[in-house]
Amino acid sequence: MVRTLSDLELAQQAAAGDRGAIELLLARHYDLIYRIAVKWAGNQTDGQDIAQNACLKLVTVLPKYEGRARFTTWLYRVVINVAHDWHRKETRHQHMAEIDDALLPPNMSDTPEARAEARQILGAVQTLPKPEKDALMLVVSEGMSHAEAAAICKVKEGTISWRIHEARKKLKALANDGVPA
């Protein structure tokens, strides 16, 4: 009978060379991969690239998944790392990341001013040091607890709190620099 295979089972089958298992696993999680990719990239075009790279990466690293962490936790880690690698390589993204207006929450995209402000803030988030950006995004954007974010980043919970604090401080400084009081 048709039954639902767990992510771990699928990962194991894929590692053993089952093409169908990897297809299924990717089909199951592609939406999540894509969302992480888009959030970390700041826009959909780059997100697509990152999501593709992440799928490719998964093919090679799947055998390393042993089921110690939840699959999605592990998946976050893989996709976020791919996103960082991608940013390192894409020189044209050394400057401010492009932000898709279409992805802005409705109440923040009503006026051009609101959109500009939103773009600026999100662009600033993209310039944060990677560990701080990750912590901030996981907790504030993905709505995770500090414990969950800590599991993904492989650090202590306290470190996550500290990184978020740092991130906020930097963003505030950036905002103040940008708009002199």
Residues numbered 137 to 156 that lie near another protein (CB under 8 A) are: 137, 139-141, 143-147
Among 11, 12, 51, 76, binds another protein (CB under 8 A): 51
Number of residues interacting with another protein: please give it, by CB under 8 A: 70
Residues numbered 95 to 114 that lie near another protein (CB under 8 A) are: 100-108
The string of DSSP letters for the chain reads: ---PPPHHHHHHHHHTT-HHHHHHHHHHHHHHHHHHHHHHHSSHHHHHHHHHHHHHHHHHHGGG--SSS-HHHHHHHHHHHHHHHHHHH-GGGSSPPP--GGGS-GGGSSSHHHHHHHHHHHHHHHHS-HHHHHHHIIIIIS---HHHHHHHHTS-HHHHHHHHHHHHHHHHHHHHHHS--
Per CB under 8 A, residues contacting another protein are 1-5, 14, 17-20, 22-24, 26-28, 30-31, 33-35, 38-39, 44-45, 47-49, 51-53, 55-60, 85, 89, 100-108, 117-118, 121-122, 125, 136-137, 139-141, 143-147, 161, 164-165, 168, 171-172, 175
